Every structure is written in structure tokens, then in C-alpha cells.
Amino acid sequence: MSDVTTSGATSRRVLLASAGAVGAGALLAACGSEAPATTGPTGAAASPPAGGQAVGAGTVLGKAADIPVGGGVIFKEQGVVVTQPTAGQYVGFSAICTHQACPVSQVEAGKIKCQCHFSEFSITDGSVISPPAPRALDKKEIKVENGEIKIA
């Protein structure tokens, strides 16, 4: 007699090996790629941030007095971070991390931070302080009028 099984039943060993391969593939797919987030032709995010809305010139973000010196505020709905590196110097950036398009989560200790993969950016110019982000945050032109921060 032969040791080969001729029935149509799958052996436990083959079943477990197949399940392991499928599980490993799913895990790798969930990790995603390290490719940078897709951007439009001008470098701006291709679409507004999740839960946010597109903003145009003149859109009021908030009061200049609410932006701490050496810190900043994230305007989640508008997808903009406004920082004040030194007194009276206001700078605007996209609130979307350049690594995998996660929204940045906080401004602290002179850094804009993304909690998805822990990238950190300078509040002065948006440059990368700590990777994995491949490039600086996109700049957003802002202006201060009558004590209000507005999109320029």
C-alpha cells in the first residue's frame, strides 16, 4: 500500500500552513507602504483633511492672542496649524503629516507632532526634526488682521 492520501480532504498541516501564509500577508498589507502621501500639483493635500473642509482666502482661523509664543494651535476643521515661533511672528502649515497623511496631533516644546508614526516638525519653518516624514509640512499663507488669523 502507498503512504499517499488519495482522498480530497486537506491535511491539518497544509491547512495551518496556508492560514499562516494568509495571516502574514494580511499583516504586511496592514502595515502599508512607506511612500509619502499623495499631493496635488501645488504640493497641497489632494483633498481636504478627514472631517475638515477646504479653506479659501479670508477664512478666519482664530484669534492671534490664542496662539502661544513658542507654540501653536491646530485648526483641525480647516486642516491648518498656526505657530508663533517668536512674539508677533505667525506661520501657517498644513495639518497633514507628509509621511502617510495622518493629521498632526499636537504642538509642544517647539515641535509639531504626528502621533501616527511620531514624525516631528519645526514650528519655525515646518522642517522635519524627527522622521519618518520625508519632507517638511506644506506651508499655508496666513495673515493677521484686526487680531484675527486668516488664510491669505
- Is 25 within the bounds of a domain? no
State how far the Cα of 79 lies from the Cα of 54, in Å rounded to an integer: 8
- Is 98 within the bounds of a domain? yes
Digit-by-digit pLDDT tens for the chain (152 residues) are: 545 544 455 566 665 666 555 554 443 344 444 433 332 322 333 334 443 455 789 999 999 999 999 999 999 999 999 999 999 999 999 999 999 999 999 999 999 999 999 999 999 999 999 999 999 999 999 999 999 999 99
Q: Amino acid letter at 65?
A: A
Query: Are the C-beta atoms of 148 and 63 separated by less than 8 Å?
Result: yes
- Is 115 within the bounds of a domain? yes
State how far the Cα of 118 lies from the Cα of 111, in Å rounded to an integer: 11
- Is 5 within the bounds of a domain? no
- Is 106 within the bounds of a domain? yes
Query: Are the C-beta atoms of 95 and 45 separated by less than 8 Å?
Result: no
Query: Are the C-beta atoms of 113 and 107 separated by less than 8 Å?
Result: yes
- Is 2 within the bounds of a domain? no
Count of domains in the chain? 1
What CATH number does the domain containing 124 carry?
2.102.10.10
Could you list the residue range(s) of the whole structural domain that residue 77 is in?
60-151
State how far the Cα of 105 lies from the Cα of 96, in Å rounded to an integer: 9
- Is 3 within the bounds of a domain? no
- Is 16 within the bounds of a domain? no
Q: Is the pTM of this model over 0.75?
A: no
Q: Could you say which DSSP state residue 8 is in?
A: S
